[in-house]
């Protein structure tokens, strides 16, 4: 079966899908992945065919400075740029599908994938890295809050947000028009898919996100889709020597968001008095602080004492897999949700809202994460459970084959 994965977004959106694609390829699928140009090597190294989506999401993932918030003008500009990005992604997705495919897997920000599949008369399946489906268990993740409004309140908010405008509405409408499909809004299409219990596959574990009892039967927690490991990658001598020179260090990194400038992270490291690895400050060399560039999380995280991060879905998963305590600093969208889950699972300290972040409260949270043994115990317990789970790709493969046969 020829499978096309649509993955507009940042590295955290692409890497798990590439990992899944690698495993599905070994199970007999022919996998193509549509992503931005910066992820070509990530996709091809996973043994999948790369299809380029124009644009670069990382240019839109930079928040305001710590302790501050977007202005109304900033937000308006951001939404305009986001709409332009998804318009390009929709066109690129259509071009990718025109190369030929038997089924489309589309992430949560590419609903136009379903419209492309409808026009081609092939099946499509949702492949989500976050629990975006309506539930009374949590508020809509797009609100960027971990707060619960009660079951009735959460459901009402899901209905409200589902009917609200989204940056991919216009691209979806344009794609339907270009393909000669009947006019139907993105919101109406989503309601129809939910009514028909259309499959949505989740790339996370029920250990971390228990299955909600009000999800329809087509929503499945498959387990984590772990990124592929580059067997040729080797750490620098400097990094190996730093790790061997003392106690396991703290890791501070904010991924594609580039949220914290190096000076803020270095000031925090100095304030804690702990050995620290700072990602995004590769030129820093101090006795107890080492700056690094990109290093695979699956290699580095098991070697550190705690991870300080933005609580993106991919980094959160990597920390859980490594079994190390977390200091989550959520910024937007789904990050507050994952930060809250880390705290509720007992593997991380209480989240530090980015808008209220200071060197003082971040250094205090790091010291709490390392000195309180219950976080390390909780992290090891969750990691043990995740390591015992079966290969998620086997379940995905079975579900895709079932859906294809019923289409």
Q: What is the pLDDT of residues 111-146, one digit of tens each?
A: 999 999 999 999 999 999 999 999 999 999 988 888
The CA–CA distances, whole Å, from 102 to 36, 106, 109, 124, 209 equal: 22, 13, 21, 9, 31
**Across the strands, what pairs with 51?**
34
Distance CA 189, CA 361 (A): 45
Torsion of CA 292, 328, 11, 299, to 10 degrees: 50
Residue 16 confidence class, pLDDT cut points 50, 70, 90:
very high
322-344 burial: b if 16+ Cβ within 10 Å, else e: bbbbbbbbbbbbbbbbbbbbbbe
Q: Evaluate whether 153 touches 214 at the Cβ level (below 8 Å).
A: no
Q: Tell me the whole-structure pTM to 2 decimals.
A: 0.93
Distance CA 381, CA 288 (A): 29
pLDDT at 70: 58
Average confidence (pLDDT) over 273-281: 91
Phi then psi for 353, rounded to 5 degrees? -60, 135
Distance CA 85, CA 56 (A): 8
pLDDT at 64: 58
CATH class of 237-387: alpha beta
Please state which of the four CATH numbers 3.30.450.40, 2.170.130.10, 3.40.50.170, 3.40.50.2000 is assigned to the domain occupying 2-129+165-224+389-406. Answer: 3.40.50.2000
pLDDT at 75: 67
What value does the mean pLDDT of the chain take? Answer: 93
pLDDT tens per residue, range 20-45: 999 999 999 999 999 999 999 999 99
Distance CA 154, CA 94 (A): 34
Distance CA 246, CA 225 (A): 33
pLDDT tens per residue, range 167-191: 999 999 999 999 999 999 999 999 9
Q: Residue ranges per domain, the chain?
A: 2-129+165-224+389-406, 237-387
Share above pLDDT 90 across residues of the chain, in percent, rounded to a whole number? 80
pLDDT at 66: 66
pLDDT at 280: 82
């Amino acid at each position: 079966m020829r499978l096309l994965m649509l993955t507009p977004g940042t590295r955290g959106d692409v890497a798990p899908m590439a990992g899944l694609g690698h495993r599905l390829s070994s199970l007999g699928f022919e996998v193509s992945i549509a992503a931005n140009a910066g992820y070509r090597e990530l996709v091809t190294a996973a043994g999948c065919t790369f299809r380029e989506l124009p644009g670069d999401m990382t240019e839109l993932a930079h928040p305001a400075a710590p302790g501050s918030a977007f202005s109304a003008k900033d937000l308006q500009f951001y939404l305009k740029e986001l709409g332009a990005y998804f318009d390009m992604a929709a066109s690129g997705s259509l071009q990718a599908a025109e190369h030929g495919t038997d089924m489309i897997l589309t992430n949560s920000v590419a609903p136009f994938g379903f419209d492309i599949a409808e026009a081609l008369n092939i099946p499509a399946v949702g492949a989500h890295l976050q629990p975006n489906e309506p539930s009374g268990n949590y508020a809509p993740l797009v609100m960027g809050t971990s707060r619960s409004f009660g079951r009735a309140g959460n459901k009402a908010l899901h209905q409200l947000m589902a009917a609200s405008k989204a940056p991919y509405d216009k691209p979806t409408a344009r794609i339907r028009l270009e393909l000669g499909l009947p006019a139907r809004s993105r919101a109406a299409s989503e309601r129809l898919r939910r009514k028909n219990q259309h499959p949505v596959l989740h790339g996370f574990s029920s250990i971390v996100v228990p299955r909600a009892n009000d999800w329809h039967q087509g929503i499945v927690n498959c387990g984590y889709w772990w990124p592929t490991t580059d067997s040729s990658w080797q750490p620098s001598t400097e990094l190996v020597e730093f790790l061997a020179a003392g106690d396991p260090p703290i890791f501070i990194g904010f991924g594609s968001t580039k949220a914290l400038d190096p000076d803020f992270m270095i000031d925090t490291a100095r304030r804690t008095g702990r050995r620290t690895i700072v990602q995004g400050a590769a030129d820093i060399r101090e006795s107890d602080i080492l700056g690094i560039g990109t290093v695979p999380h699956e290699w580095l995280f098991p070697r550190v004492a705690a991870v300080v991060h933005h609580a993106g879905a991919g980094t959160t998963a990597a920390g859980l897999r490594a079994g190390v305590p977390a200091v989550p600093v959520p910024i937007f969208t789904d990050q507050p949700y994952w930060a809250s889950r880390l705290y509720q699972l007992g593997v991380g300290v209480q989240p530090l809202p980015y808008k209220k972040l200071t060197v003082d409260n971040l250094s205090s949270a790091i010291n709490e994460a390392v000195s309180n043994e219950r976080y390390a115990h909780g992290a090891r317990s969750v990691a043990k459970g995740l390591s015992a789970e079966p290969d998620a790709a086997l379940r995905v493969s079975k579900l895709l084959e079932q859906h294809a046969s019923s289409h």
